[in-house]
């Protein structure tokens, strides 16, 4: 695998909520698969996809992934998407362009996803596949979330009761009774080449009502086409959730990515980076976010970014920012 497969924690958290409801030992499961215990408090963190799927598999394998995955998909929230994705979606003039915006940006919710719109006669097939994880027993969990994300997108223009004529999943097995009840007029096909829904083209031709206000946290640059993931960028996001506990070293990061330290370094070298640079950048970005909270002491920021010695934190921050953490915080106050 030539990229780091990552998924935003918010999409795992809805599944963890279902597991807590049925009494599963969520904290133990997180520890068992090597995920940080703080994921439920960090919805915007990026997590390694194999670890997320390992947690889902640990809760009953493919059967549980099918049934609990469908249940979790009912808890999807539009507000859980990245703000720039919300902006692109809400500013789209038609149903079709809304789907195009979601397909174009789906990899920033889960970097293993590949989306595509394919015309089939009078219908549009919306595909979204987990590339590289087709044989995972936990695939159904991801597929139901993808399916319902696109169903919700179409319902935003066709009404809350709209259902697709057909749903296809790559997962083998039998769809849950709850899915058949919720989608009574929908054909649910299993073991198909793609995860997809079928939507009438004329439905997607309808104009969308555009909001006067933009989602919180959005900015004008959000409408620009997203840049692709580089190996270094993916690794940087993977490292961030572990900072407050014990920052990952090169050997551990390589182990999590199922590769060797030498191969990991070689892949970073193609981006013109080293592991130390990636780690320092991850710490710097976390520190910038935390320094914006004036109630948080700078010494606590240093510990939260994995530094045992606050002086080491100050030197590392100054090396990237050109100013000390204290002066950076002052600059925020002046700008605000």
Which is more confidently placed, 296 or 322? 296
Identical fold, 6-223 and 231-335:
no
Q: How far apart are CA 50 and CA 15, in angstroms?
A: 15
Name the strand (E) or helix (H) holding 88. helix 83-90
Name the strand (E) or helix (H) holding 57. helix 49-58
96-116: per-residue pLDDT in tens? Answer: 999 999 999 899 999 999 999
Name the one residue in this structure whose structure tokens are 């408090």: 41
The ranges assigned to domains in the chain are 6-223, 231-335
Q: How far apart are CA 41 and CA 18, in angstroms?
A: 16
Name the one residue in this structure whose structure tokens are 């595909």: 127
Name the one residue in this structure whose structure tokens are 């999409």: 11
- Tell me the Ramachandran region of residue 333: left when phi exceeds 0, alpha when psi lies from -120 to 50, beta otherwise: alpha
Would you say 59 and 22 are in contact if contact means Cβ atoms under 8 Å apart? no
Residue 227 confidence (pLDDT) above 60: no
Q: What is the pLDDT of residue 226?
A: 45
Which is more confidently placed, 113 or 334? 113
Residue 221 confidence (pLDDT) above 50: no
The model carries a pTM of 0.81
What is the topology classification, in CATH, of domain 231-335? Arc Repressor Mutant, subunit A (1.10.10)
The correct CATH number of 6-223 out of 3.90.550, 3.90.1520, 3.10.530, 3.30.70 is 3.90.1520
């Amino acid at each position: 695998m030539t990229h780091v497969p990552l998924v935003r924690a918010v999409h795992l958290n809805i599944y963890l909520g279902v597991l807590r409801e049925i009494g599963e030992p969520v904290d133990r499961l997180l520890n068992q698969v090597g995920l940080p215990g703080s994921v439920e408090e960090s919805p915007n963190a990026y997590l390694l996809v194999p670890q997320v799927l390992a947690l889902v598999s640990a809760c009953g394998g493919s059967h549980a992934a099918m049934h609990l995955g469908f249940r979790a998909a009912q808890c999807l929230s539009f507000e859980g998407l990245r703000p720039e994705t919300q902006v692109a979606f809400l500013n789209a003039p038609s149903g079709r362009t809304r789907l195009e915006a979601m397909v174009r940006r789906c990899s920033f919710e889960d970097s293993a996803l590949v989306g595509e719109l394919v015309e089939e006669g009078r219908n549009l097939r919306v595909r979204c596949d987990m590339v590289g994880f087709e044989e995972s027993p936990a695939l159904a969990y991801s597929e139901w979330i993808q399916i319902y994300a696109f169903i919700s997108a179409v319902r935003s223009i066709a009404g809350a009761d709209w259902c697709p004529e057909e749903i296809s999943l790559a997962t083998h097995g039998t769809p849950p009774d709850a899915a058949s009840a919720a989608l009574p007029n929908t054909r649910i096909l299993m073991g198909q080449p793609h995860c997809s829904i079928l939507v009438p083209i004329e439905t997607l031709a309808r104009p969308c009502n555009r909001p006067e206000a933009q989602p919180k946290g959005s900015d004008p640059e959000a409408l620009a086409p997203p840049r692709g993931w580089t190996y270094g960028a993916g690794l940087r996001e993977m490292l961030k959730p572990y900072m407050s506990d014990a920052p990952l070293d090169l050997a551990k990061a390589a182990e999590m990515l199922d590769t060797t330290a030498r191969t990991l370094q070689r892949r970073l070298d193609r981006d013109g980076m080293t592991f130390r640079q990636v780690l320092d950048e991850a710490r710097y970005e976390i520190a910038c976010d935390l320094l914006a909270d004036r109630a948080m002491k700078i010494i606590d920021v240093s510990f939260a970014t994995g530094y045992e010695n606050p002086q080491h934190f100050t030197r590392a921050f100054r090396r990237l920012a050109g100013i000390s953490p204290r002066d950076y915080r002052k600059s925020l106050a002046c700008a605000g």
